[in-house]
Amino acid sequence: MTRAGFRYLLDANSMSSFRSGKEGLVDREKKARLEAHGWRVGSTEEFLGLTPEESAYIELRLKLSDAVREYRKKRRLTQVQLAELLQSSQSRMAKVEAADESVSLDLLIRTLLVLGATHQDLAKVITARLARAL
């Protein structure tokens, strides 16, 4: 990928760093070799030029969408069954679980509440570190 005339390589784990909560790190020797050949190695946040607030917002959406999937599976519901509870569609539930940008925070939270999450559960989800990679 190029950005401002540079060849840019995201860390191997960088694309999933939002979901994993881990910093993606490229081996130092490999990074040096790549940079010697004109590549710039960095994080997703650096590549996209995200502010700390934007990163936090994305992380929040990912935490909530992960929680929706977990709660749905704990209740042994399909996306179709969850959609019926919310008077929505299966494709919309897939977007909810994928943290699609078209899904509002309102829908993410409302879905969790329909699945039985309490306010305390929501607080735990919001304050927890991301545990999964893509």
- Sign, CA dihedral 65-66-70-71, equals negative
How far apart, in whole angstroms, are the C-alpha atoms of residue 38 and residue 62?
A: 33
pLDDT in tens, 49-95: 899 899 889 999 999 999 999 999 999 999 999 999 999 999 999 99
Q: Which domains does the chain have, with CATH numbers?
A: 2-48 (no CATH), 52-127 (1.10.260.40)
How far apart, in whole angstroms, are the C-alpha atoms of residue 100 and residue 98?
A: 5
Mean pLDDT for 11-33 is 57
Which one, of 116, 111, 124, lies nearest residue 68 by Cα? 111
The answer on pLDDT for 48 being more than 90 is no
How far apart, in whole angstroms, are the C-alpha atoms of residue 4 and residue 39?
A: 12
- Sign, CA dihedral 82-88-89-91, equals negative
How far apart, in whole angstroms, are the C-alpha atoms of residue 116 and residue 129?
A: 21
The answer on pLDDT for 121 being more than 60 is yes
Mean pLDDT for 111-119 is 97
Mean pLDDT for 129-134 is 53
pLDDT at 132: 46
pLDDT in tens, 93-112: 999 999 999 999 999 999 99
